[in-house]
Structure 1
């Protein structure tokens, strides 16, 4: 059944171009997908900043929202306080120092939120829940549909898509649907997650969570080759020390 409109949702690429390329190839195989929504944190954590941005910005079928890592790096480039401290701050400074200047203006143009109407349904896309000053709220590690409804009680939309919390969220309340496809670029296995969403002609919404396998060896070994600040912690926390499998096999 092909009725309706179909979109892809990606989030938290985090400077991992190998994962991004695998997902884009998978999306491009589905000719029914009309648009891609990217939910922020294009850069940071991963070291393939320019490769990721060049691929994303080369396409005309992607809408973006700003993530906290994107925001921190841009603040450093503007000479402002990034909000990060310690090793994370040093990591952001390193990312900023390697960012290709021709990509900065496009990155700066990304908004904090995007609204879209897809086949009669109203969507809101954000990196994560925002307060009245457009600041990201702390991560809620025990989200429920009721707690999400409380945050968005004054928001008149049917679907809210967000990222930031690197795990799948799929909540349906009486008010609306909430969706987080999980982090595309930070996983403990060589898998890159994203979501497909179809809005049918009668208002039905079908969601599919996809995991694309890819070769992450060169990406993971790149942390040591490039001496990425906080690299050991990143590899442990965000990638489950997968790199040790490759080092032992060298």
Structure 2
């Protein structure tokens, strides 16, 4: 058994193309997407069209949900909303909150919230790994052995004492960002590459590979500049804020 897991594309069509090509070259047929697919100052419609061409099962992220809000006052949200037609809105509305298979559970943030971080806690010194007991509480009741999340854009694998594994594949399209809530913080992968995860089962053992893919970022950087998002420019160039 082998699957690929992507997350947090954020309208970055060039990053998504590079990742899907790598997945195809590896002969992987099953792809899961942990959400936040279209939001960003980039290419949401082109991203939607590419997602529809592959065998990709997607769930809803918090930014997918926000795109359906009537008026957020956020110019980047408005930029995407102005491009969305009824077909795109229906797709966003139909995305499930989570997906489950016999072995895997997929959510964007946590099993209870698409806005809460699964593995990281914010403090005065930035992001830190949560205590094991807190992570165990968040995934209590999940029967699957491997739990996938997204949202933080930081690739991470955490093994729990109950034998379960929590995996964040990182972000396909936005390797760093900053946020004001719950306190001001930066999330920085430290690399401008596109990230995704491959999970393979061999002889009842799970092999987890965190993959980094280089791609041509020029179009995404130009589009970010055009839409006044200097923070995205720096993130795409460096993987930092």
> Aligned residue for 2:91?
106
> Aligned residue for 2:178?
none
2:21 corresponds to 1:25: yes
For residues 126-172 of structure 1, give each alpha carbon's deviation from its aligned partner in whole angstroms, at most 9, with x where no partner exists: 011143xx553256332244331121122222110011011111011
For residues 172-205 of structure 1, give each alpha carbon's deviation from its aligned partner in whole angstroms, at most 9, with x where no partner exists: 11220000011110126441111110123x4210
How many residue pairs were aligned? 216
Specify whether residues 135 and 211 from structure 1 end up closer, same or farther in structure 2 by C-alpha distance, changes over 3 A only.
Answer: closer
Among 121, 124, 143, the alignment partner of 2:129 is 143
Report the Cα distance in structure 1 between the residues aligned to 2:41 and 2:206, rounded to whole angstroms: 33
For residues 47-81 of structure 1, give each alpha carbon's deviation from its aligned partner in whole angstroms, at most 9, with x where no partner exists: 1000101000122x211110111110012xxx3x6
Among 59, 62, 73, the alignment partner of 1:65 is 59
Cα displacement (A) at 1:241: 6.3
Cα displacement (A) at 1:103: 2.2
TM-score when normalising by structure 2: 0.82
Which contiguous aligned blocks of 4+ residues in structure 1 show a shift greater than 6 angstroms?
none
Kept in 1, the 8 Å contact 2:192–2:237? The answer is no
Report the Cα distance in structure 1 between the residues aligned to 2:41 and 2:159, rounded to whole angstroms: 32
Report the Cα distance in structure 2 between the residues aligned to 1:146 and 1:46, rounded to whole angstroms: 38
Kept in 2, the 8 Å contact 1:181–1:194? The answer is yes
> Aligned residue for 1:248?
none
Gaps of 5+ in 1: 243-250
> Aligned residue for 2:3?
7
Kept in 2, the 8 Å contact 1:170–1:177? The answer is yes
Kept in 1, the 8 Å contact 2:115–2:151? The answer is no
Report the Cα distance in structure 2 between the residues aligned to 1:6 and 1:69, rounded to whole angstroms: 28
Map 1:120-159 → 2, pairs under 5 A: 122-131=103-112, 134=113, 136-137=115-116, 140=121, 141-144=127-130, 145-159=132-146
Report the Cα distance in structure 2 between the residues aligned to 1:130 and 1:209, rounded to whole angstroms: 22
CA RMSD of aligned residues (A): 2.0
For the pair shown, which has the larger CA radius of gyration, 1 or 2? 1
> Aligned residue for 1:47?
42
Gaps of 5+ in 2: 122-126, 176-189
Kept in 2, the 8 Å contact 1:50–1:100? The answer is no
Report the Cα distance in structure 2 between the residues aligned to 1:12 and 1:25, rounded to whole angstroms: 17
Report the Cα distance in structure 1 between the residues aligned to 2:8 and 2:43, rounded to whole angstroms: 13
Residue range with higher mean Cα deviation, 145-154 or 210-219 = 145-154
Report the Cα distance in structure 2 between the residues aligned to 1:143 and 1:17, rounded to whole angstroms: 30
Cα displacement (A) at 1:30: 1.3
Cα displacement (A) at 1:219: 1.4
Report the Cα distance in structure 1 between the residues aligned to 2:88 and 2:140, rounded to whole angstroms: 37
Kept in 2, the 8 Å contact 1:10–1:195? The answer is yes
Report the Cα distance in structure 2 between the residues aligned to 1:136 and 1:29, rounded to whole angstroms: 33
